Amino acid sequence: MTKQKWSLGDYVEVKDRLRAFWMDFPDGRVITEVVETHWDADPAICLIKAEIYTDSSDQRPRAVGWAYEKEVGQVNRTSFIENGETSAIGRAIANMGIQGGHHRPSREEMESVKASEEAIADAKINLNGFIKIAEEAAANGSEIEARIIKRAREVSREASDLNTMNKAIKTLGKLLDLEGVPS
């Protein structure tokens, strides 16, 4: 697992930022919009915009926040749009200078980072397992090409996004299946 250089305890939840906003601006309003969704992407993605108004009569927002969210991880498989909305609101409030803590990102955003880091670490373990199986198969006479194993090692070492890791796992798994190697 990747060693974190930060602690979730250092970050404030969006609900606390919202509470501070409503205390300062009881007549304010928060408007969110799903600007874009790509259900056909793998994973599905969305772009959310949040506008913060300090008074109900304001014609223009005092601050805007954006969030891009992917349908990955345990929670986001069912709630990535809702999480994107929460992140966008937290960013918009932070853009007004209401952070509620010392860090601009919200606790929810940092939880997402932590979940992503853990998923990537798990995918690397999976990929390394497939690489080991492929190396053993090649050593036992399988025709798995050395260049494929080399590329898989590079991906395992260098990839920092889950999508790239999962594609490498899927590709190596298919190649092992084609060679009749149980994986």
- The predicted-structure confidence for 46-101, as pLDDT tens digits, reads as follows 999 999 999 999 999 999 999 988 887 776 778 889 989 988 998 899 888 886 54
Nearest to 85 by CA among 107, 96, 64, 69: 69
Assign 20 a pLDDT band (cuts: 50, 70, 90): confident
Comparing 61 with 19, the larger pLDDT belongs to 61
Which residue type sits at 47?
L
Contact between 63 and 93 under an 8 Å Cβ cutoff? The reply is: yes
Of the two residues 14 and 137, the one the predictor is more confident about is: 14
Q: Which residues pair with 29 in a beta bridge?
A: 53
Task: Give the tokens for residue 63.
Answer: 């601050």
* pLDDT class of 107 with cuts at 50, 70, 90: low
Q: Is the pLDDT of residue 8 over 70?
A: no
**Is residue 2 scored above 70 in pLDDT?**
no
At 112 the pLDDT is 64
**Looking at residue 181, what is its pLDDT?**
66
Average pLDDT, the chain: 78
Is residue 104 predicted with pLDDT exceeding 60? Answer: no
Phi and psi (nearest 5°) for 45?
-135, 160
For the chain, the structural domain boundaries read 8-105, 114-178
pTM metric for this prediction: 0.57
For residues 29-39, give the mean pLDDT.
Answer: 95
The two structure tokens encoding residue 88: 């966008």
What residue has token string 């991880």?
A: 73
What's the distance, CA 181 to chain centroid? 33
**What is the rounded distance in angstroms from the CA atom of residue 66 to the CA atom of residue 89?**
8
